[in-house]
A = this chain, B = another copy of it.
């Protein structure tokens, strides 16, 4: 047992089942020090709390507020911006055990749940009622609804179905000082007062702790079909995306792999991927007539210059096409293993206007060459959101320096094209400086004012998003 600091002794008094809730062993502290963002600062928490009820969260927040101890909320720590990283001496407040699905309401296409519910579990549960919760971040088998809301998570199908923010109707919150607050509504529409719900989405635990959410649902998605098209040039792939958009198609996935990523997946043995392609598009359609719509998109790809076009005729073939996208992570892992030293992946998250996609990818390739690095770019072409991934040996000081330079160069190039430094991963600690470059100074001043309004003592996840 750790020394009885005022914080711990107060919490032990307040929480009847404190042995279950409060953890101070070094392993737990170390395991909860950071999320999945590399190179981001992280400290060592004084305690990791696993409350099971909103009332326990209230006690924890009020105690920390009175003692002036910072609190860092955490979900599944799958975030990629350091937003869930601990601060020395803080309380890490994990909502992982608040994982009840409270109410599935098919008549109103709503679900109420606690923040610790894993995204895939939520989707499986509502599917039994013929409903779906579309947002599908890559980590959806592990990440939680609370973390999705806090980071404003995206995913693959949001090109058609929207992001997490589009599904949050209302929130149940605990403020920095321990007060409870509800925002939003149970109705499909509503404009009563300023939209605090939306303000909280993407606020990375800096304004309040999410202890419950009311989420909108959609009818279950129709069966989808998929296709794959490979192009001899990046420009040709960009042209295909533009003509698919211009023709009014709304695919449920429109993913793009650059030359390096296409090659890595082909090398990893995917049978539909041919070597030597400059870019690959993976397209999924779940319209009422996916075969017809895919045929039309396949034609547009060919007209743009695609050489290898594979259109799935059924579910199993579609699964194989989509497998090419899923293989990216293991394929990059296999490449990393060839590097020696301490191989690391630095995942970017820049979004540009869709029309600038090909130009942006060309610039990324130039940045990779200039810095003598391997950059694998894949991303959500349909909404211009790319994840260029620098894979390098962290133990090589010079390579580390070049990786950081490339990371910054890529972000600068994205902003110069009218883009944003984060499409769906968030600011956290990793992109605070970039936020100050991206935002209008007046807007930044108001953002800081918002932080002070919600958290006047600057105790809730301090140092994330904006400095108070």
Contact = CB atoms under 8 A, between A and B. Distances in A.
B351 A189 contact: yes
Interface residues of A, number: 88
Contacts of A219: 248-250
A423 B187 contact: yes
A81 to B, nearest CB: 9
Interface stretch (A38-46, A105-113, A224-232): A105-113
Contacts of A151: 191
Interface in A411-461: 418-427, 431, 434-435, 438-440, 442-444, 446-447, 449-451, 453-454
Contact of A198 (B154, B198, B246): B198
Nearest to A221: B248
A289 interface: yes
A73 to B, nearest CB: 16
Interface stretch (A176-184, A304-312, A330-338): A176-184
Contact of A196 (B179, B289, B385, B447): B447
B384 A446 contact: no
A139 interface: no
A1 interface: no
Interface stretch (A54-62, A256-264, A273-281, A352-360): A352-360
A429 to B, nearest CB: 14
A383 interface: yes
Interface in A234-285: 242, 245-246, 248-250
B196 A201 contact: no
Contacts of A19: none
Interface in A376-428: 380, 382-385, 418-427
A22 interface: no
Contacts of A419: 185-187
Oligomeric state, in copies: 2
A128 B246 CA distance: 12
A246 B106 contact: yes
B195 A202 contact: yes
Nearest to A191: B152
B189 A383 contact: yes
Contact of A353 (B186, B202, B421, B423): B186
Given A108-B355, A109-B245, 12 more contacts: A105-B353, A107-B245, A108-B353, A152-B191, A158-B189, A185-B419, A186-B419, A188-B382, A190-B420, A192-B434, A193-B444, A196-B446
8 contacts: A108-B355, A165-B195, A183-B440, A186-B353, A190-B351, A220-B248, A288-B289, A453-B453
Interface of A: 105-110, 130, 151-152, 154, 158-159, 163, 165-166, 175, 179-183, 185-196, 198-199, 201-203, 207, 219-220, 242, 245-246, 248-250, 287-289, 351-355, 380, 382-385, 418-427, 431, 434-435, 438-440, 442-444, 446-447, 449-451, 453-454, 465-466
